[in-house]
Structure 1
Amino acid sequence: MSSAAASAFPSSNSYLNSSFNTKVLQVNKESIFFKPGQDLPEITDKETLENLKEAAKILQDTNEVVGFPTETVYGLGGSSLNDESVKSIYKAKNRPADNPLITHISSINQLKRKILGDNEVIPDIYKPLIEKFWPGPLSILLPVAENCPISKLTTANQPTFAVRMPSHPIARALIAISDTPIAAPSANASTRPSPTTAQHVYHDLHGKIPIILDGGPCTVGVESTVIDGLCDPPMLLRPGGVSLEEIKKYGGLKWQNIVIATKTAGKSEPVRTPGMKYKHYSPTAKVVLFEKCGDGIKEIENYIKNNNLQNSKIAILKSFKFKNFSNKENIIVKNLGSTPAQVSTNLFKLLREVDEQDKVDYIFVEAIPVNDEGLAVMNRLSKAASETIVGNHTEDSFA
């Protein structure tokens, strides 16, 4: 790693037996332009172009993987057409093999050339949503055809695969330059909060991967929405960067009766999309979710007293109603934001910040209403939390 990258990203003790001297390469998203009708981008910054080419070469010529930014979270990408590359993803993350991966493409043309072939078409039910949200944080399920080149390791042997076209210029450029559909889960160690900066990726995967492309912080902050239009009624498998309200608004009549899948699949139930099984999004500190607790004062003070946490270091992540607890020396209060979109952007970042930098013992998080981006936020929080405290403030609408 360069000295500049080393100074920006302090060394981690997580991996003492490193296989790679992980490099962090700077990439300027403002220098990347996709013109209508063009599959390849125009890139005005020489360093950005060279770093993207270096990462693309890894995807094309090796079985290794790279970390890169998307509009949702940072991804860990390897060729979705190559079994060994997909194995490298699972190995780097220590991810269970029955947890499927989403394939990322740079264009509809690439999807047809590389995956679908001449005989397969995208079902009509998806077309209005693709027109509105591709490129963007929406993943759709497509059937695995008889001769589909997608690695079965990305689908966990399911008859469908998930695919999306990211809108982040770095992600899309990397996929386009390599001309490789990329299987890419979030670039974190399995069960940890998803990464929204290159530093988060470095913290978790230093020594496990050769390259991280640093394109600055992600804007959406939670993973893509995953939908299944192959069943009737269609299903929302994972809430994310495109809200349920937006799907109904822009999807047309067929999406008006969309069903929300259960948050967590059963132990023996096949998993059709990431995030439906196993522990997810969890810091080292214990996360406690507070729902319908008003300003939080009474419920938090009772929890601290009842669990003898007077000497514990606690972080409170507030949003709409919680008070600051400013007179408590052992309590850190941080603001997630005042809208569902702001909370979505800041959630994983602040979970990691108080856990990895502030070294707190407990993280208390204020629940938010499930409208708009709130559905995705509460989906993640319900999986990150070890315990949920429910108050009696019934005027709020929560999950």
Structure 2
Amino acid sequence: MHLGRYFVTMISKAIFDTKVLKVNPLSIHFSPTAHLDGSLPTITDPETEAALLEAAKIIRDTDETVAFPTETVYGLGGSALNDNSVLSIYKAKNRPSDNPLITHISSIDQLNRKIFNQAHSYGASLSDNIPAIYRPLISNLWPGPLTILLPVPLSNHNTLSKLTTADQSTFAVRIPANPVARALIALSDTPIAAPSANASTRPSPTLASHVYHDLNGKIPMILDGGACNVGVESTVVDGLCNPPMLLRPGGFTYEEIIELGGEAWSLCKVENKKTVEKGEKVRTPGMKYRHYSPSAKVILLVPDTSDANNNKKENQMKSLNRMIKSEIQADKTVNKIAILTSLKLQDSDLQSQIVEDSDFSSKTFIIERLGRTGEEIQANLFAALRKVDEIDNVDLIFVEGTNEDGEGLAVMNRLRKAAANNCILF
């Protein structure tokens, strides 16, 4: 199949009566070795089991897709072994085909059987198809929000759809920790290609309602397993190059990769490209095209770590006031403004110096707290962007950024893309 870049044009008429089925993650139980040997879960809630079996049948036996929760964000899944299923993902999202997909597996046994087309033989190690450099990481971080790049199997063994890899020599794979995701993959016994379950370029979904907002009528089913606890996509690493690279920051921090990866990862580099050249292939999702963007304009306030002024807080508020006035003067249609705060902006300061400013008397301000720790900010980020954009219908969004250590690296990666690099030192 020729895999030149294309976009699948969405039709306006709904194709599906999208079902939303509640599932209970707490009713799903795996053995401690299930992510290795592929043993199936036990499910104590009959409604959850029925919903998962129905979804598994769609994945295994049709060309259609299912949206489901992972620990990172909701995914839109189809069989990674079926070209038509992968095409259904691209169609529902209106996603460009040269943006590769991550393949989700329930166990290393499934990886060997279904992708490398190898039955386990006596004396062989389950990890034979995984380069040694990854083994310390996956022993500590799988199941979980870690994606690794593996060489595509030789053509006489490979069963993976080339549409998942954008016809490249590597493919991205992970074992999710969320029990709903793991159970769906295990019960279907099918590796699932799954990007985030949102319309292309929109903020990633962390609730089933976010998925429904974007994809109602475009997919047959959404499994509603509640809120995603991590809140940003998985960390993607490439151990096939020297030195190894962190291609996309995510649910595990760079510091955790260094600490748990062993000596081979001590020199791990971080991919820091801001743009991708026309025609350049990318090895992982999130490196190309507009991403995570609300409809409203987003301005990212980047912490100015070089500013040693004792009156920094006061200067920040004056600076924010000036920025808002400048945006209002430039665009007379701006009436509703959201300010998403994290570590430093305080509600009382915003109230006294922004909301109560007489120049803004005709404007409406909505203030949302992202959180006070890296974990909280990361978990709340996409939901807050969607709330102010889709529910509050604001015209302009200011987001207070954070330092780029720990979870801050992934947070700022997503925010720079959401703001289309419209960033101001603050």
2:351 alignment partner in structure 1:
326
Are residue 314 (structure 1) and residue 353 (structure 2) matched?
A: no
- Preserved CA contact (<8 Å) 2:78 2:192: yes
2:104 alignment partner in structure 1:
104
1:123 alignment partner in structure 2:
131
Give, in whole Å, the separation in 1 of the partners of 2:328 and 2:235: 40
1:289 alignment partner in structure 2:
300
CA displacement 1:331-364 (0-9 Å, x = unmatched): 1111100111110000000000000000000110
- Preserved CA contact (<8 Å) 2:117 2:159: no
1:11 alignment partner in structure 2:
none
Are residue 236 (structure 1) and residue 246 (structure 2) matched?
A: yes
2:125 alignment partner in structure 1:
none
- Preserved CA contact (<8 Å) 1:15 1:207: no
Q: How much does 1:323 deviate? A: 2.7
Q: How much does 1:318 deviate? A: 0.4
Q: Given the alignment, which residue of 30, 33, 43 partners 1:37?
A: 33
- Preserved CA contact (<8 Å) 1:233 1:259: yes
Give, in whole Å, the separation in 2 of the partners of 1:258 and 1:265: 21
1:178 alignment partner in structure 2:
188
Q: How much does 1:15 deviate? A: 8.1
Q: How much does 1:42 deviate? A: 0.3
- What are the within-5 Å matches in structure 2 for residues 70-89 of structure 1? 70-89=70-89
Q: SS of the residue aligned with 1:326?
A: helix
Runs of 4+ in 1 over 3 A off after TM superposition: 117-120, 293-296
CA displacement 1:279-335 (0-9 Å, x = unmatched): 000000100001136544122111122222586211000011113222516111111
1:216 alignment partner in structure 2:
226
TM-score (norm 2): 0.86
Q: SS of the residue aligned with 2:129?
A: coil
1:389 alignment partner in structure 2:
424
Which letter does structure 1 place at the counterpart of 2:351?
A: S
- Preserved CA contact (<8 Å) 1:289 1:366: yes
More displaced 10-residue stretch of structure 1: 254-263 or 327-336: 327-336
Give, in whole Å, the separation in 2 of the partners of 1:130 and 1:265: 29
Which letter does structure 1 place at the counterpart of 2:147?
A: S
Q: How much does 1:117 deviate? A: 3.5
Give, in whole Å, the separation in 2 of the partners of 1:337 and 1:266: 35
- Preserved CA contact (<8 Å) 1:297 1:323: no
Q: SS of the residue aligned with 2:393?
A: coil
Which letter does structure 2 place at the counterpart of 1:183?
A: A
Q: SS of the residue aligned with 1:307?
A: helix
Q: SS of the residue aligned with 2:172?
A: strand
Give, in whole Å, the separation in 2 of the partners of 1:122 and 1:84: 28
Give, in whole Å, the separation in 2 of the partners of 1:308 and 1:87: 42
Structure 2 residue ranges without an equivalent (≥5): 1-9, 120-127, 305-311, 356-362
2:124 alignment partner in structure 1:
none
More displaced 10-residue stretch of structure 1: 178-187 or 146-155: 146-155
Which letter does structure 1 place at the counterpart of 2:286?
A: G
Q: SS of the residue aligned with 1:25?
A: strand
Q: How much does 1:268 deviate? A: 2.2
Q: Given the alignment, which residue of 275, 300, 307 partners 2:320?
A: 300
Structure 1 residue ranges without an equivalent (≥5): 1-13, 392-399
Residues 127, 21 of structure 1: CA spacing in aligned structure 2 closer, same or farther, 3 A cutoff? same
Give, in whole Å, the separation in 2 of the partners of 1:90 and 1:117: 26
Q: How much does 1:156 deviate? A: 0.3
Q: How much does 1:121 deviate? A: 1.5
More displaced 10-residue stretch of structure 1: 41-50 or 310-319: 310-319
More displaced 10-residue stretch of structure 1: 358-367 or 37-46: 37-46
Give, in whole Å, the separation in 1 of the partners of 2:33 and 2:258: 28
Q: How much does 1:16 deviate? A: 5.5
Q: How much does 1:52 deviate? A: 0.2
Are residue 52 (structure 1) and residue 52 (structure 2) matched?
A: yes
1:395 alignment partner in structure 2:
none
Residue-pair matches, total: 378
Give, in whole Å, the separation in 2 of the partners of 1:118 and 1:179: 15
CA displacement 1:115-155 (0-9 Å, x = unmatched): 12449620000000000110000000000121311100000
2:255 alignment partner in structure 1:
245
TM-score (norm 1): 0.92
Which letter does structure 1 place at the counterpart of 2:101?
A: L
Q: SS of the residue aligned with 1:283?
A: coil
Are residue 18 (structure 1) and residue 14 (structure 2) matched?
A: yes
- Preserved CA contact (<8 Å) 2:101 2:285: yes
Which letter does structure 2 place at the counterpart of 1:146?
A: L
CA displacement 1:82-111 (0-9 Å, x = unmatched): 000000000000000000000000011111
- Preserved CA contact (<8 Å) 1:15 1:206: no
Are residue 273 (structure 1) and residue 312 (structure 2) matched?
A: no
Give, in whole Å, the separation in 2 of the partners of 1:318 and 1:90: 34
- Preserved CA contact (<8 Å) 1:71 1:219: yes
1:146 alignment partner in structure 2:
154
Give, in whole Å, the separation in 1 of the partners of 2:139 and 2:288: 30
- Preserved CA contact (<8 Å) 1:143 1:161: yes
- Preserved CA contact (<8 Å) 1:266 1:277: no
CA displacement 1:146-194 (0-9 Å, x = unmatched): 1311100000011000000000000000000000000000000000000
1:7 alignment partner in structure 2:
none
Give, in whole Å, the separation in 2 of the partners of 1:63 and 1:271: 26
